[in-house]
Amino acid sequence: MDQIVNVNEFQELAKRALPKMYYDYYSGGAEDQHTLKENVAAFTRIMFRPRVLVDVSKIDMSTSILGYPISAPIMIAPTGSHMFAHPEGETVTAKAAAACNTIMMVSCMSSCTLEEVASSCNAVRFLQLYVFERRDVTAKVVKRAEKAGYKAIVLTVDVPKLGRREADIKNKMIAPKLRNFEGLFSTQVKPSDGSGIEAFASRALDASLKWKDMEWLRSITKLPILIKGILTREDALKAVEAGVDGIVVSNHGARQLDYSPATITVVHVVKGRIPVLLDGGVRRGTDVFKALALGAQAVLIGRPVVYGLAAKGEDGVKKVIEMLKNEFELTMALSGCPTISDITRNHVRTEDERL
Ligand code: FNR
């Protein structure tokens, strides 16, 4: 472990630890994977405007999201099927989240049930939700999340249909066991020629979901609602109008619509009226700082967390989060920002501001 010095190194370790089908599932993006590369590359085009002679002898990275304190603005993104990476699945990831004092968004497509994750440790958890054609099933899952102490619902809205992930199609990726839905509706899909995940998604997800349905979701839960998958100012405004409690600027880790913009290039257009989180390509503490400078309150980490889980279990996930926190702390010091509220738009320079 001591030999691992940055988050990117976990990818190679995960590749060695995992069967090819599972590694491809975790690492892949949609079609040409252009957005997959852009999510990372776009961060490299933003430079700093560091300020000097500021007292940075004490750095405070702490912040809070929906009123829940976290040690740094770095949270765990919802990703499906952690048992492909570790036999104890999401319960392990949740323990790492608790140890790092951060929030875990648990995918409803988790390998462990949402109750099992809840009882494994005291991590603050939000439930990531897809809306299924079977609305009764969706409503039951929301009720279970409330009962199990989840603190918010994160509704993912960028998957009316599954993006074309060509590696999964080639590998005939198996449909994972979705234990949250056992006994509620059949999650078994017939063996298909392509991706088993796609076969399940096209059967189960509700592609007719629309803004009006936010009223329905609001009516079935008192929990705060975040919408994940916003990429334009227009939709951010609609989210505000719909009365949601926050948004996640996300292109689903480039797994849905290829040639969607890199999230860091659009996060500024939605700043303002409600909390904004960002995910996609965050691999360095400098990326976290850039996201905050451009308008995010916190970032979510997707692939590096599952790579850490696959390579080194709970310690791997902890190391991923801790390395990002350490890098972020150093970035704050070297930019002259002792607290989160000191980070401003003036601390970064985008490409069009170069001259
Ligand atoms: C995801 N993502 C995702 N999002 C979601 O809302 N529900 C889900 O079940 C999943 N599942 C999932 C599985 C895998 C293997 C990946 C890589 C991603 C998207 C995820 O929440 C997040 O938006 C991206 O992963 C962020 O990008 P990075 O950090 O992976 O670059």
pLDDT at residue 168, as a whole number: 93
Name beta bridge partners: 170: none
Domain extent for 263? 9-350
Query: 2 lies in a domain?
Result: no
Complex confidence, ipTM: 0.99
pLDDT, tens only, 325-338: 999 999 999 999 99
pLDDT at residue 175, as a whole number: 84
Give the torsion sign (CA, 231, 274, 342, 99): negative
Ligand 1 centroid to Cα of residue 264, in Å, is 16
Collapsing DSSP states into helix, strand and coil, what is residue 14? Answer: helix
pLDDT at residue 202, as a whole number: 86
Ligand 1 centroid to Cα of residue 201, in Å, is 15
Q: Rounded to 5 degrees, what angle do the CA atoms 122, 128, 133 make?
A: 140
Nearest to 104 by CA among 314, 275, 271: 314
Give the torsion sign (CA, 114, 318, 252, 195): negative
- Ligand 1 proximity of 77 Cβ (cutoff 6 Å): yes
Tokens of 21: 């089908």
Ligand 1 atom index nearest CA of 77: 21
Please count the structural domains in the chain. Answer: 1
What contacts 354, CB < 8 A, 6 or more positions away?
none
pLDDT at residue 270, as a whole number: 81
Query: 1 lies in a domain?
Result: no
Query: 42 lies in a domain?
Result: yes
Q: pTM higher than 0.90, yes or no?
A: yes
Residue 134, burial from CB neighbour count under 10 angstroms (0-12, 13-18, 19+): middle
Pocket test for ligand 1, best of 230, 252, 282 (most atoms within 8 A of CB): 252
Neighbours of 64 (CB within 10 A): 14
State the amino acid at position 220 in one-letter form. Answer: I
pLDDT at residue 271, as a whole number: 67
Give the torsion sign (CA, 32, 39, 26, 257): negative
Query: 88 lies in a domain?
Result: yes
Going through 86-204 in order, the beta strands assigned E by DSSP cover: 103-107, 124-129, 153-156
Query: 226 lies in a domain?
Result: yes
Query: 334 lies in a domain?
Result: yes
- Ligand 1 proximity of 39 Cβ (cutoff 6 Å): yes
Neighbours of 73 (CB within 10 A): 26
What contacts 310, CB < 8 A, 6 or more positions away?
13, 14, 17, 18, 22, 23, 26, 84, 85, 86, 316
Mean pLDDT per block of 10 residues along the chain (355 residues) reads 95 98 97 98 98 98 98 98 97 98 98 98 97 94 98 98 94 89 78 80 91 97 98 96 97 98 94 89 98 97 98 98 98 98 97 76
Query: 4 lies in a domain?
Result: no
Query: 355 lies in a domain?
Result: no
Q: Whose CA is nearest to atom 29 of ligand 1?
A: 302
Binding site as annotated, residues: 25, 78-80, 107, 128, 130, 156, 165, 228, 250, 252, 255, 279-283, 302-303
CATH of the domain at 317: 3.20.20.70
Residues in the chain: 355
